[in-house]
Amino acid sequence: MSIIEILKQKFGYDTFRVGQEDVILSVLKGQDTVALLPTGTGKSLCYQLPSYMMEGTTLIVSPLLSLMQDQVEQMKVRGEKSVLALNSFLTADERKLAFKRLHTVKFLFVSPEILQNDYILRRIKQLSISLFVIDEAHCISQWGPDFRPDYMLLGDIKNQLNNPTTLALTATATMSIREDIINQLNLVHPNELIYSVDRPNIAINIIHVEDYKEKVEQLISLVNQLNGPGIVYFSSRKLTEEISERLNRNEHLNVAFYHGEMDQEQRTLIQQQFIYNELDVICATSAFGMGINKENVRFVIHFHMPSTVEAYLQEIGRAGRDGKQSISILLSSDYDESLPLNMIENELPSQIQIERFFQWNSRVSMSQEEYAGLNNVQFRLLSYYDTFLGNKDSKEKIYIISQRIEERKNKKIHQLFSMIRWKNSVECRREGLLRYFDEQLKSKPLVCCDRCGINENDFYKSNDLRSSNKNDSWKDRLDYLYRQGKYKHE
C-alpha cells in the first residue's frame, strides 16, 4: 500500500498536515531524521505510519509516563493491538505477560531510564528494531544535563541496537539544541526537516502587574471571563494547589491542579478529566501538557514566567490545536526573574556538594542525604558523571564536573535573560519569538499580539457567538465574525 492508502485506512485522514509527508518519506528511505514540527501538527503519525511499511519493531523513547500511556491508549482506540509500554504502571503479572509477548509487539514505548535496566535492554536487543524514535527530543538537551542524565546515554543505546534508522521529533529546538540532539545521538549527516514554529491562531499577550496581589486578582478575573477550557502554568507546586482550591471554592469553576509530586494514578485521572471536558481549568506546573491530545484549549496563562523561550513556546502551543483563535497570556512583573534564578542556583549541585559526594563515595555506610545533602536528582547526576569520567582520580573528576555544572548554570542564566529581553522588548512579540528560532515572520496574522494591538474582549465569554452582547454595535459583531471566520478557514 502507498502512504496515502495507509493514511486513509489506518488513521482516517485524506491529507497530511504540514511536514508529515516529508518526515515519513525520509524515514522510509532509511535516513536518520531530525524533525522540528509546530505543536499540534501530529508528530506521532510521523513514526506510526512508516512503521506499518517497515519490518521489525519501532522503539519509542518517551519523556513522561502519562504521555506514553496516553499515546498507547489512543493507538488501542484506533484498533492497534500490537503496542506496549514498559513502565512502572505495570503490575508484576502484567510485566511477566509483557515480556512473554515482547517479540510480537510492533510499537514499544519506553523511558530513557528503563533502557538502563540490563535485563530489559537485553530483551530489547533480541528484537529487530527497525526504527528508533525519540519523542520530544529537545529533552535530550534541556533535561539530560540537569536531572535526567539517562537521556545523554541514548546514543550508546542506539549503537547497541545496531544503529537502526533514528527519528528525533520536537516542536521547540533552536539551532544549538538541534546540534546537541545530533551529537548526543551520534547521528552522522541526518536529514534535518525544519518547519516554522509559528502558530498564527494563538494571540500573544503580556499583562504587566505591580505585585503578587494584583497578579492573583488579574488571574481570577481572566479565568472567569475567558472562553475555556484553559491551562494556567505556575513554577510553584504549592501555588497550583492553593489557586486551584480558591477557584473551585469561590469562582464556581471545575478546576484541578497537576504537578510532578502527585501520585501517578491521580495525575492520569486529572489528565483524562481535562481531555474529556470535565474540567474548565487546569492549574499546573510544566509537568502537565506534553503530548496531550486536546484540540480545544482556548487559553494558556502563565502566572510565573518560564525560564526559557523554548519552554514558553512549548506551553503556549497547547492552545488552539484545532486551528481556532486562542490566546496566551503572561502575567508579568518586575520581580519575575528572582524565582527562576533561584531555581537555577539550587537545582544543580554546588561545589561543596560535589566535593562531599566524592568523600561520601569512599564511605558507603553514609547516605547521600546525610553526607552530601544531595537530593535524588543531584545524586543521580553526579553518579552519571562519576561513571562517565571512568578511572580519573577524584580530584580531576571534581574539577571537570564543577566546570561542566558551572557552564550549565551559565547557559541556563543566558536562556533566562533571553526570555526576559523578549518579554521586555517593545517590538512585535511574534517577530521576536521567531527570531529566537532563527526565523523571520513572513505574514502577520490579524490578531497578533499586545504590541501590535489586540482586543482582549474578543476572547471573553460574553463575546462568544452564542451569547453576544446585545449592546455591541453591528460593526463590532461583524468585525468579530470576520476574524473568527478568517482563522477557521486558514
* Predicted confidence (pLDDT) per residue in 431-480, tens digit: 999 999 989 998 899 999 999 988 878 898 865 433 333 344 454 445 54
Number of neighbours of residue 225 by Cβ within 10 angstroms: 15
Number of neighbours of residue 213 by Cβ within 10 angstroms: 9
Which pLDDT score, from 0 to 100, does residue 370 have?
53
Q: Is 9 exposed, middle or buried (0-12, 13-18, 19+ CB in 10 A)?
A: exposed
Which pLDDT score, from 0 to 100, does residue 41 have?
74
Contacts of 238-247 with C-beta under 8 Å, sequence gap 24+, read 239/283, 239/303, 240/283, 240/284, 240/285, 241/283, 243/216, 243/219, 243/283, 243/303, 244/283, 246/220, 247/220, 247/223, 247/281, 247/283
* Cell numbers standing for residue 178: 538541534
Mean pLDDT of 190-199: 92
Which pLDDT score, from 0 to 100, does residue 390 have?
84
DSSP state of 5: H
Which pLDDT score, from 0 to 100, does residue 362 have?
57
Residue range(s) of every CATH 3.40.50.300 domain in the chain? 3-194, 202-336+425-488
C-alpha angle 165/167/170, rounded to 5°? Answer: 170
Q: In this structure, are residues 133 and 47 in contact, taking their beta carbons and an 8 Å threshold? A: yes
Contacts of 65-70 with C-beta under 8 Å, sequence gap 24+, read 65/89, 65/111, 65/264, 66/264, 66/267, 66/268, 66/271, 67/135, 67/136, 67/290, 67/291, 67/292, 68/109, 68/110, 68/111, 69/268, 70/271, 70/291, 70/292, 70/293
Check pLDDT > 60 for residue 350: yes
* Cell numbers standing for residue 79: 484498533
Burial 259-293 (b: 16+ CB within 10 A, else e): beebeeeebbebbeebeeeebbbbbbbbbbbbbbe
The CA dihedral of 45, 48, 54, 56, to the nearest 10 degrees, is 160
Tens digits of residue pLDDT in 397-414:
999 999 989 988 998 999
Q: In this structure, are residues 153 and 111 in contact, taking their beta carbons and an 8 Å threshold? A: no
pLDDT bin (cut points 50, 70, 90) of residue 488 is very low
Which pLDDT score, from 0 to 100, does residue 184 have?
92
Check pLDDT > 90 for residue 87: no
Mean pLDDT of 136-140: 88
Gap between the Cα atoms of 377 and 146, Å rounded: 8
Of 343, 314, 333, the closest CA to residue 413 belongs to 343
Check pLDDT > 90 for residue 421: yes
* Cell numbers standing for residue 262: 502527585
Q: In this structure, are residues 10 and 49 in contact, taking their beta carbons and an 8 Å threshold? A: yes
Tens digits of residue pLDDT in 292-320:
778 899 999 999 999 999 999 989 999 99
Beta-bridge partner residues of 284: 233, 258
Third-level CATH fold of 202-336+425-488: Rossmann fold (3.40.50)
Cell numbers 555544572: residue: 405
Which pLDDT score, from 0 to 100, does residue 433 have?
94
Check pLDDT > 60 for residue 371: no
Mean pLDDT score of the chain:
86
Overall residue count recorded for the chain in this entry: 490
Which pLDDT score, from 0 to 100, does residue 146 have?
73
How far are the Cα atoms of 147, 397, 420 from residue 383, in angstroms, in the given order? 11, 11, 33
How far are the Cα atoms of 24, 46, 106, 142, 267 from residue 49, in angstroms, in the given order? 7, 6, 12, 28, 29
Q: Is the pTM of this model over 0.85?
A: no
End-to-end alpha-carbon separation of the chain, Å? 31
CATH assignment of 3-194, among 1.10.3720.10, 3.30.565.10, 3.40.50.300, 3.40.47.10: 3.40.50.300
Q: In this structure, are residues 232 and 223 in contact, taking their beta carbons and an 8 Å threshold? A: yes
